[in-house]
A and B are shown apart, each in its own frame.
Chain A
């Protein structure tokens, strides 16, 4: 049985085709989320990769901020549940998932069976999101995926402590003006995201194992700083960005089996 999950985020679209709720037989990841052509393209790419057609799919589920506007799926499920399911599939021992996406950050806690039993999301005014990293990348003219390399070379990360994105931006700009070197500045930016999300996680009881999901998980700079902030090692999978879509495909599978 093939099931399908699509995760339409604010900046990317991700799709996964799964077989019998076990194996990922095809996936895709495209830049461009809600309101772009990317979701459709991602669907066809994933199907092609799996060598199946839409009609071969037994059930489909959509998640992410674009889920409500995507009408082709059988089910609509929040990214909270999906990140939980997806992470549990990849790391069966995981109990706490920290997801930093484009627009928000979430901390999801699972019970020993992998069911979500609590979650928290960032304050609207907090700057601990992928969007913040993108804005900073633009200001500094350094691609986000190079951030980790800069962090490694930093000896003295800059302190960026403002509570809101706008203030943090002006802080970064003035640090730049004051001649703080790029390595320290980027390490400071990564750690400011990590500290903010780490503080969010403290409002929930953090039970290990802990893993990260979402696009920012790729960023080792943020990941290491986050691990330090919460005092637990953080599991990482190169599939971290697909957890939402994997979870959606699993959700569709579970619903189908129950039928």
Chain B
């Protein structure tokens, strides 16, 4: 495929997950939903199923209001809304981690709101560096395995997991290579960049890796296009077309990101060594850092944002704050201060899953552009 065909392919997958899900189901594959922010997708893959990320959608929230007060983030609310409305029908289970308070409550509500899709909790440790953190992560994975086996009748095998880890590590490597490659090619819009990341949650990883590598080869062969204003994004999500369009309209491009649904997913590989494949997968989680949802007493994430922005020569940092996301809200004052100190302009834009109008964001981004 040529570049445009590849980009169209990512766009199609990013915008029509249901179509893909129907295709997997028609092929006789089982689909398991995976909620934000981290889930052991490799386990699902190893059991021969397709993990599909559910990060909600930009929709009006009606049915979920029966379960959530207004101050729970709309990512969670829209996941339940889609569940109630049948958008996920046919899925064998949903895996929801308990990494923030809103994720804890969505699991509890899910049991009553979407009775047809079993809820499997993934309980991660926050004290993940000591040996007991590793042991508890592994116990959490075993719990998920049991839940998946009960829900689907399929069996887990450690050797299969070793193979899946290779698939996922290869995908991580491709996604990590993608960021600087896109940074060097200003002709690829923010919306197209988002499509590549978003489609990764819906496509089978083998296929996604192949397409990303194909794109990387094309980009590598082309001359770099260093036009446009270089910015870094940080936040949970950055996939709203209305928002990305404003970046594109203002001649901005994302040269690196600290977005949970984008680069944060791909920073850490499962190590080559370990007692078993499951231990290697546990080691992967324990090694993860630099995320608002993972305990970080030194606030290394804040320093990393500044370092990454400098390394990628970003002219400014765009903080895309998901409304009511307290893990991110607590980090913001420190991020702002660190950016100020490093003399990197930083602007906060509040977003949620129910925005149909981005005029306020447009004004903020236009003003931000004048600052750069």
Contacts and interface: CB of A to CB of B under 8 A. Distances in A.
Direct contact of A and B (CB under 8 A): yes
Interface of A: 123, 125-126, 159-164, 170-171, 174-175, 177, 195, 198-200, 202-203, 229
Contacts of A126: 70
Contact of A162 (B65, B66, B69, B354): B354
A123 B70 contact: yes
B62 interface: yes
Nearest to A170: B360
Contacts of B71: 125
Given A123-B70, A199-B65, A202-B63, A163 B359 contact: no
Contacts of B61: 199
Contact of A171 (B60, B62, B70, B357): B357
B60 A203 contact: no
Contacts of B359: 170, 174, 177
B234 to A, nearest CB: 23
B65 A200 contact: yes
Contacts of B355: 161-162
A203 B62 CA distance: 11
B217 interface: no
A125 B360 contact: no
Contacts of A163: 70, 354
A202 B354 contact: no
A160 B357 CA distance: 9
29 contacts: A123-B69, A125-B71, A159-B60, A159-B356, A160-B356, A161-B355, A161-B356, A162-B355, A163-B70, A163-B354, A164-B70, A171-B356, A174-B357, A174-B359, A175-B357, A177-B359, A195-B62, A198-B62, A199-B61, A199-B62, A199-B66, A200-B65, A202-B62, A202-B63, A202-B65, A202-B66, A203-B65, A203-B66, A229-B62
Contacts of B360: 170
B29 to A, nearest CB: 35
Contacts of B356: 159-161, 171
Of A123, A126, A199, most B-chain CB atoms within 10 Å: A199
B369 to A, nearest CB: 19
Give the 8 A-B residue pairs with the shortest CB-CB distance, closest first. Answer: A199-B65, A174-B359, A161-B354, A202-B66, A123-B70, A171-B357, A159-B356, A203-B66
Contacts of B60: 159, 161, 195
Given A123-B69, A174-B359, A199-B65, 13 more contacts: A125-B70, A125-B71, A159-B60, A160-B356, A162-B354, A163-B70, A164-B70, A171-B356, A199-B62, A199-B63, A199-B66, A200-B65, A229-B62
